[in-house]
Amino acid sequence: MCLTIPGHTCNVQSELWCWKIIVAELLPQHHCQVSQKRLTLTMLRRLAAAPVPAAVRRMSSGSVHITVPLNFWAGERRTSHEKRDKENVYEPATGRVLCQLEPCGAVDVDQAVKAAKSAFGQWSKMSGMERARIMIEAANIIESRSEEIAQMETVNNGKSITEARLDVDSARQCILYYAGLAATLAGQHVQLPGGSFAYTRREPLGVCAGIGAWNYPFQIAAWKSAPALACGNSMVFKPSPLTPVTAVMLAEIYAKAGAPESLFSVVQGGQETGSLLCHHHDVAKVSFTGSVPTGKRIMEMASKGVKPVTLELGGKSPLLIFQDSDLENALRGALVANFLSQGQVCSNGTRVFVHKDILPKFLKEVVKRTQRIEIGDPLLESTRMGALVSRPHLDKVLSYVDQAKKEGATVLCGGEQFVPSDPKLRGGYYMTPCVLGDCTDEMTCVKEEIFGPVMSILSFETEEEVLQRANDTTMGLAAGVFTRDLRRAHRVVEHLKAGSCFINNYNITPVEVPFGGFKMSGIGRENGQVTIEYYSQLKTVFVEMGDVDSLF
């Protein structure tokens, strides 16, 4: 990944590469290969005491400027063939221009899809074991470059480096998981009368289009590409125009791992580029993560070609905290359910229903802990809440807090724009995490997805009552329940209308487990074995071993 740090232009590839540079600079008199494992204690002390060469220092907010193209197909980064206005991409932490986006038009999309179609011809003929080998190598490369990728994710998205590392590892695990499934894809044999039989074949679809969201740029690219590639498909991926940087890194990683040229391609752009992908006659399937309104439009476009879709859309998820809950875990769960990635998570449990008997104690403690959340430079290890993704989005979230106050909610803490003391961060898109009390079901903050660090707390008295209120939404992505009564937990989960439910935890997404929603929160699933069904098609073959029995 080429990037510019003032005074240096470098190609940062991996931690091992960084170690080699450091050792070479510190020990120029030794003409030998030195591995990390063989570094002596004395050498390690010298490394720790010596200044780190500028080219391998940790990225810092405001220091990265990207000038290389962000589109990728036919084995390399590419500029658009069409003269289009470039769009600024901003660094959330500072508000400065990070790079310029070159949107793809019809010619570019057509080239990328045709290249992916060619790659599909080669990839689909490989055995599952051969595909698995390449995917495992891609996962290994991600592991070796994990810190670099995480830092670029933080620079482009604004989330804390701690979270970005977890996201990158989730992407790595997802690719490994589907590499393990690639060789297990198989059909079924069915014995028929007279020695005849039938069998089924699970076959790839062809070129799949992936359209990603800005809250988990690298992770979503992996979550969509891994099952698609395991099944023998190729993919053309369009990231969000707000976060276009790291998906291209994944494309380069697949290529370096030995994948056929253009197996995973990246086209940049907004609504027009996405529309071109959905309508392209060589695209066999569309997978989208984003808002409900956009998901509806994509479903409509795909319907013109009767193309299958996977839609992972929005949510307004309930979190139910009963009076017998382990309060410490319930508090932790509520914070995780609302403030991960600055609250910009579709599955967040933003409607927190707390039993009236424990409400005062819960409110006091959740406010105290929310106020302790450290906001600031997302590249610092101590930061727990970085910047929201854009200025318009920050303004939108703040407007929801204002509307809540007008409708009678009480701001117990936060809900204001935050200006860090560091001068270079003062143009960034920060706000203080907000807890709203005295909320009712009719309030806008309770009914609409805010997609920011805003927790709405509601009181309840009975299990029947809270279930009815929890399900009173058009969406059904996730839901959670905290209680020590396991019978109640399973009973409540049975009645919650949501695709992903959590008992005594929240917002955990292991790649082995399907993730997706009910109602208007989407169609299909990401992760787990079931996703294989959404990236393949079943062919039935009848084999007659005798004579044809005909009426004619």
Residues serving a catalytic function are: 312
From CA 475, how far away is CA 521, in angstroms rounded? 5
From CA 425, how far away is CA 421, in angstroms rounded? 8
Of the candidates 453, 452, 372, 458, the one whose C-alpha atom is nearest the C-alpha of residue 410 is: 458
Convert 26-55 into a string of H (helix), E (strand) and C (coil). Answer: HCCCCCCCCCHHHCCHHHHHHHHHCCCCHH
Core vs surface per residue 225-258: b (16+ CB within 10 A) or e: bbbbbbbbbbbbbbbbbbbbbbbbbbbbbbbebe
Q: Are 282 and 114 in contact (CB under 8 A)?
A: yes
From CA 475, how far away is CA 499, in angstroms rounded? 10
Contacts by residues 440-448 (CB-CB < 8 Å, ≥ 24 positions apart): 440/408, 441/469, 441/472, 443/404, 443/407, 443/408, 443/409, 444/400, 444/403, 444/404, 444/407, 445/400, 445/401, 445/403, 445/404, 445/407, 445/409, 446/316, 446/351, 447/316, 447/473, 448/316, 448/400
Residue with tokens 């590409």: 225
From CA 230, how far away is CA 126, in angstroms rounded? 11
